[in-house]
Amino acid sequence: MDSDLPLSTAPSLPSVEEEAVALGRESILARLRERIVAFAASRYAGAHAEDLAQEVLVVIHEKYGHLHRLEDLVPLAFQILRFKLAAHRRKAYRHGDVDAVDVDTFPPASDAPDPAAVLERKELLARLLGGIAHLGERCRELFRLKLQGRTFAEIQQTLGAATLNTVYTWDHRCRKQLLEALGGSWDQPVGRGAP
């Protein structure tokens, strides 16, 4: 060790807490990667599932390096993955080239709403309005209370349910009914044209 080197220039060691946070984040991202690859492979990406997962993680590393919590990273991953998948599908159908490299960035550079996303949301809303017409009275009331911003505990009191788990069960069944009314998928199947 050179004695002329001032002690103040020595790099500081990470604290235990920072190490724990970093390990936690890495663990979360590792598990996220596995899930993303499996999801993308089962949906539309096919051979590009690994690339897609890598793109999602790159975005999280570069733009959201300050996030460490599970509650922040996981929903963020959902949004980025959905965005990347949609871009991948549009490019594949537009060019007919499944090997095209996806160069879209997340979030979009422009603040203007993506026209395709706006149209998809409009169609989903129309389908939802049609689907909730088929729900029973309790499911409609439950959905209405959720949209009003009530928590499950508040909904339990409003509906007079015996336990919180009862409300969870009702909600789960109503969600399945709504999904069936929408044809089994929240998203419109691609390629069927206008609904």
Q: Whose Cβ is closer to another protein: residue 95's or residue 121's?
A: 121
Instruction: List the structure tokens of 142.
Output: 């439950």
What is the widest separation between alpha-carbon atoms in the chain?
81
Q: Which of residues 64 and 152 has its CB atom nearest to another protein in the complex? A: 152
For position 42 contacting another protein by CB under 8 A, the verdict is yes
By the rule CB under 8 A, 67 interacts with another protein:
no
Could you say whether residue 47 binds another protein (CB under 8 A)? no
Candidates 39, 57, 63, 159: give the one binding another protein (CB under 8 A): 39
**Selection from 187, 181, 173 nearest residue 133 by Cα:** 181
The single residue among 21, 67, 98, 128 that binds another protein, judged by CB under 8 A, is 128
Q: Looking at 21, 57, 67, 70, which residue binds another protein (CB under 8 A)? A: 70
Q: 10 Å Cβ neighbour count for 97?
A: 10
Based on the shown chain and the rule CB under 8 A, indicate whether residue 115 belongs to the binding site for another protein.
no
Q: Extract the tokens encoding 63.
A: 């733009």
CB of 22 to another protein, least distance (A): 17
Which position among 12, 15, 110, 185 is part of the footprint of another protein (CB under 8 A)?
185
Residues that bind another protein (CB under 8 A): 28, 31-32, 35, 38-39, 42, 70-71, 74-75, 78-79, 81-82, 120-121, 123-134, 140-141, 143-144, 146-152, 155, 165, 168-169, 171-172, 174-175, 181-183, 185-187, 194-195
